[in-house]
Structure 1
Amino acid sequence: MGVSANVQFGECLLLQGLSRPAGTSPGPARRRRGVVVAAIAAVAVAGIAVSSAASAASADALKEKSTPVRDKSLQAGLEELVKDGTLPGALMSVRNRDGRVVNYTAGVGDIRTKSKVPTDGYVRIASSTKMFTAVAILQLAGDGKLALDDTVEKILPGVVRGTGDGAAVDGRNITIRQLLNHTSGMTQAMPLMPRGILPIKDRYFDARELLDAALTQAPAVAPGQDRAFKYSNAGYVLLGLVAQKAAGRPLAEVITDQIINRIGLKETYYPGPGDREIRAPHPQGYLPPTDDEGKEIPGELIDITRFDPSIAGAAGQIIATPSDVNKFLVALQTGRLLKPREMAEMRQTVDASAILPGWRYGLGLTEIPLSCGGVVRGHGGDADGFQSRSAITPDGRAVTIVATNDGARIMEVLTFFDKVLCATK
């Protein structure tokens, strides 16, 4: 879920931070005769030995030939990101067009022990969760259990009624499509964390509690006004409730059964109620402390790996490994999750240049222009301790990068992300 109060890369540009006051190495395929008395017998044994040796040599050659090649320039670029220590560690998975996977790491996984960053370790993917929530909604649409242009009122009658400053928010005037592409006008604020994540890191929040708090906030776009793109975590929390009502099952179960298990994502999961940990192996996640005025204290970092992610809910709760996020992107692009009609709907975009020039947003999917030409589709996410960027090219090169401080070197990470997506190896 985009969660920094600072002006940041991607959808996180417009949000309050989990880390500051308002404004998942078990990656893919977890690693790696008596005395001869007759001459004829000796020859036979020798023949077998030669044949076996040749076969072994052939197998070794084939294995070597199929071993993915590590790109030294990409490794160097990842190491440059962590060089000054503000990003303690970074990990990246690159899935090439032919399905070969290369995993990279740089920096340290724990600044106290100086342990290595685990290859393809588990991380909080934050707002990349929105892709999963959107797919769940689109699957329900494909099954005829809802329509994208249904009002929220039709699915959740009487639930969305704003109060106080949010009195103008009304589910009768908000469609599911508008929630998916952030044109509903719902608030960008996160009122339950006015002083950042630390005071509430062990607090569990129910989805309805998150929604009710959001309904007290003034809409980002006034009713009747042309609704522009205004990124809203609250809108995706509401989508989680929509999905649960339409499916008749908890959102975590819907996502697990219909997405994670369907395409075999063995290292992706939706944390259960009260689960504050990240499965091993994982790097630690960090955030800078702040002073009494909310300003960051340079040169210091707080370990925020363990916290209750329910504050993010359907907008940003999932934990996964970088390679599994890439598997998800490939499955989505190749039609294993959505029917053609729903896939086409997902790719219908609105102007999201409020994030960065040229950016567009579909239904839970960001369309990003590359410096080398063309566009990629994916999502970014920032939860306290982790910033992640994930996307896939039209011809199937998928990249996920994660750094272990959600508020540092945002644009440098984005620039490197572009470089990796443009690479040809």
Structure 2
Amino acid sequence: MPAAAAVAVGVMAMGALTPPPASAAAEPDTVRQGLKELVRSDGVPGALASVKDREGGTRTYTAGVGDVATGAKVPRDGQVRIGSNTKTFTAVAVLQLVGEGKVDLDEPIDTYLPGLVRGEGIDGHRIKVRHLLQHTSGLPNYVKYLADDVRYYDPRDLLDLALEHKAEFEPGEKWEYSNTNYVLAGLLVQKVTGRPLAEELDRRVIQRLGLRHTYFPAPGDATIRERHPKGYDRPSAGAPLVDVTEFDPSWGWAAGQMISTNSDLNRFFTALLDGGLLKPAQLDEMRTTVPAGAPFAPGARYGLGLVSTPLSCGGVYWGHGGSTTGYETRGGATDDGRAANVAITTQPADKTVMPRVEGVVDKALCR
């Protein structure tokens, strides 16, 4: 897999750190056990989680090490690269513009970005804004064609890379995950507002919710600003871990560039479901789903930048999750106010590991 790997997944909760109730204290802490097992049995360098209950009480967890060279601890609720959770932020900005009457979900993208979306079997007159947000456009995924060199990519570079390849299917014909959809969604936000995407996400979402540890890295910023566990890659089975914490994340842009914490993500998804970011009509649109496949869990359904995942105890949680170089995140919130997010500090080659990460989220929300 190229260094600029697949974009995808989640992170966690917010509130004061409170001790568990006496009844809960007597029970095994399944979240703590789950994180330790990811480190012990699955070879994950570090893991961290934040869990919020219905009353707003929050517990944070860590396991493993935050730096394999020094053995330093994983910082509690440290910042991580959140990958495709960025898509939910981008979708919120688009849906806010819909609520303001500036964008129509059922208008072709060519209405807003005329002449930009063209290629073999690709016509911007036939791809609606809704298709982009729901991954039903048929646009090829540029991530498949990224080279191994990690460098700065302009959003138009990413789009051009995708448009060199033919359409995967007719718009609306089926669902297939493609980061190209969200590059176009980001360009749409910029065109309609006349402002950079990073500024719009900061103004419309981050500042509005007081997400103090969440940001969209500036061009050329390869660092993570605050306390964070290092992210790692393992080039091949049995090979030493390679520190990939610092890199230019522009290959993810509106689809996967952001940095946050588990607690900020929990606040974000909780506020979103509570109607704190969107009008009821647009939130309903966001939660109108179609069946989804990889990279999501079995039974997942995709709305407009928002994913529902079944819980073993009944019902679903709403989130997204994200995969990016050095980090994986999974989590979300329920309609009754529970929230949980889990992050690990590598992209595991073993395909059985991420279902176990998702299992920790399930245990956190079902406890």
Query: Scaled by the length of structure 2, what TM-score is found?
Result: 0.91
C-alpha distance after superposition, 1:337-372 (max 9, x if no partner): 000000000001111145443211000001111111
Contact 1:188 1:220 in 2 (8 A): no
C-alpha distance after superposition, 1:282-325 (max 9, x if no partner): 00001111xxxxxx232421110000000000000110011000
Counterpart residue number, 2:345: 404
Q: 2:74 aligns with which of 114, 117, 121?
A: 117
Counterpart residue number, 1:328: 268
In 2, distance between residues paired with 1:178 and 1:310?
Answer: 23
Contact 2:301 2:309 in 1 (8 A): yes
* Structure 2: runs of 5 or more not aligned: 7-12
Counterpart residue number, 2:10: none
In 1, distance between residues paired with 2:317 and 2:42?
Answer: 30
Residue 167 of structure 2 is aligned to residue 219 of structure 1? yes
Secondary structure of the structure 1 residue equivalent to 2:318: strand
In 1, distance between residues paired with 2:128 and 2:276?
Answer: 26
Q: 1:280 aligns with which of 226, 233, 256?
A: 226
Q: 1:183 aligns with which of 129, 136, 139?
A: 136
In 2, distance between residues paired with 1:66 and 1:297?
Answer: 43
Q: How does 1:114-263 map to 2 (within 5 A)?
A: 114-162=71-119, 167-190=120-143, 192-195=145-148, 199-200=149-150, 203-221=151-169, 223=170, 227-263=173-209
Residue 4 of structure 2 is aligned to residue 18 of structure 1? yes
Corresponding letter in the other structure for 1:137: V
Percent identity of equivalent pairs: 47
Counterpart residue number, 1:383: 324
Counterpart residue number, 2:292: 352
C-alpha displacement at 1:84, in angstroms? 3.6
C-alpha distance after superposition, 1:355-406 (max 9, x if no partner): 4432110000011111111111101100010000021112111001000012
In 2, distance between residues paired with 1:399 and 1:30?
Answer: 14
* Structure 1: runs of 5 or more not aligned: 6-15, 21-26, 32-62, 290-295
In 2, distance between residues paired with 1:316 and 1:299?
Answer: 27
Corresponding letter in the other structure for 1:286: Y
Residue 364 of structure 2 is aligned to residue 420 of structure 1? yes
Secondary structure of the structure 2 residue equivalent to 1:245: helix
Counterpart residue number, 2:56: 99
Corresponding letter in the other structure for 2:355: M
**RCO higher in structure (CA 8 A, sep ≥6):** 2
C-alpha displacement at 1:189, in angstroms? 4.1
Residue 259 of structure 2 is aligned to residue 319 of structure 1? yes
Number of corresponding residues: 355
Contact 1:86 1:405 in 2 (8 A): no
In 2, distance between residues paired with 1:194 and 1:371?
Answer: 40
C-alpha displacement at 1:280, in angstroms? 2.2
C-alpha distance after superposition, 1:71-123 (max 9, x if no partner): 73321221111114621000000011111111100000000000000000000
Secondary structure of the structure 2 residue equivalent to 1:275: coil
Which protein shows a greater Rg?
Answer: 1
Query: Scaled by the length of structure 1, what TM-score is found?
Result: 0.79
Structure 1 moving runs of 4+ over 3 Å: 27-31, 63-67, 353-357
Q: 1:341 aligns with which of 281, 291, 294?
A: 281
C-alpha displacement at 1:328, in angstroms? 0.3
Contact 1:123 1:386 in 2 (8 A): yes
Query: What is the RMSD of the two structures over their aligned residues, measured on CA atoms?
Result: 2.3
Corresponding letter in the other structure for 1:186: L
C-alpha displacement at 1:194, in angstroms? 3.5
Contact 2:15 2:56 in 1 (8 A): no
